[in-house]
Amino acid sequence: MKTIFTFIAAVAIYVNASAQTQLPNVGFETWTGSGTTIEPTNYHSNETGTGWAPTGPQTCFQYSTSVHSGTYCAEIVTESFIGQAVNGVLTSGMVNAPSTNKADGFIGTINGTTATPVNHIAFTGRPDSLVGWYKYTQGSPSGTSESCKVRAILHKGNYYDPETPSNSNHPDSSANKIGDALFISAAANVTTWTRFSVPFNYVSPSLPQYVMLNCTSSSNQLTTVAGSTLYLDDVSVVYRSGVGIQNPEEVSKNIKVFVYDKMMYVDFLNRNYDESTIIVYDLTGKVVSESQLSNNKLNTINLNQLASGLYLYQLTGTGFQKSGKLLIK
């Protein structure tokens, strides 16, 4: 009996730890730097990379003309530089370009020049899937088969992407991998905000220590095509997937979440989903509120304890997930 209770307690601790780990600033609302070096807080581009990386053009931009929600999204562009296509990149790691050979370039959690660990985002959960919203424009010439890529890698220690070394540019860290989620878009223009959802595939039963999020406007590292543009917003991870989680729009679009006078309202009228939960995060990814939702009613949640500012929410139930931003005044 004692063994059973110990197992139940361990599972409860594990689930609680997983539920409270989320990616920071993945609504891309806060930015640091200015001009060509402006980057989303917690994330980096080639401009703050090593070797040849910062000598190339700016490829990551703060964008506000058309966003999925909030004020800003990330615009990632494959640019032309001295006759070559420089892949647009946004990463929680560091862009390292030890030579002008594009195959030698990599994203890692180390500074490729000094070999010192950098840019680790702590992450101890084992989510089910990676979700987000994107728009995409293929580069020229017209009809070129270009696609974008978003990849989240859960790992311990240091990690490198691509994993396979080129000309001894980095160690092989594949043993540090816990799991990853990979989204590669169709080779087509996507002119309206579109949701993507991809599962995490695990290769180890361990809890990770870190997450590395890598987003590129060209999925092919060796692309020769300039102009491909990825708009990215509202990325998150989902812990409790259900049937149909990959296509939840029809379910979630009729569920309204809004804030007025520091009260959060979740319109769950005429809904009968089991075990629905709404979690509110600050922009660092810290959980600041978590509530169970009642069916067939307008749920009200007091957020008076929170300071004014922008927050993220994730609403999860059986067979659906909805996320977005909340502005508390």
Q: Please, where in the chain does CATH 2.60.40.3080 lie?
A: 249-328
Write down the pLDDT at residue 185.
Answer: 93
Q: Would you state the pLDDT for residue 113?
A: 84
Nearest CA to 191 among 66, 287, 79? 66
Give buried/exposed letters for 139-149 (b at 16+ CB in 10 A, else e).
Answer: beeeeeebbbb
Residue span(s) of the chain under CATH 2.60.120.890 come to 11-238
Q: What is the pLDDT of residue 19?
A: 41
In tens digits, what is the pLDDT along the chain, a chain of 329 residues? 333 333 333 333 333 433 447 899 999 999 999 998 999 999 999 999 999 999 999 999 999 999 999 999 999 999 998 888 999 999 999 999 999 898 999 999 998 888 888 878 999 888 989 999 999 999 977 556 899 999 999 999 999 999 988 898 888 989 999 999 999 999 999 999 999 999 999 999 888 999 999 999 999 998 989 999 999 999 999 886 443 333 445 455 667 788 888 889 887 655 555 567 888 888 877 788 888 887 777 888 999 999 999 988 888 766 567 778 888 88
CATH architecture of 249-328: Sandwich (2.60)
Instruction: Give the separation between CA 218 and CA 172, rounded to whole angstroms.
Output: 24
Q: What is the pLDDT of residue 96?
A: 94
Domain at 11-238, CATH homologous superfamily: BT2081, beta-jelly-roll domain (2.60.120.890)
| Cα R_g (the chain), whole angstroms | 20
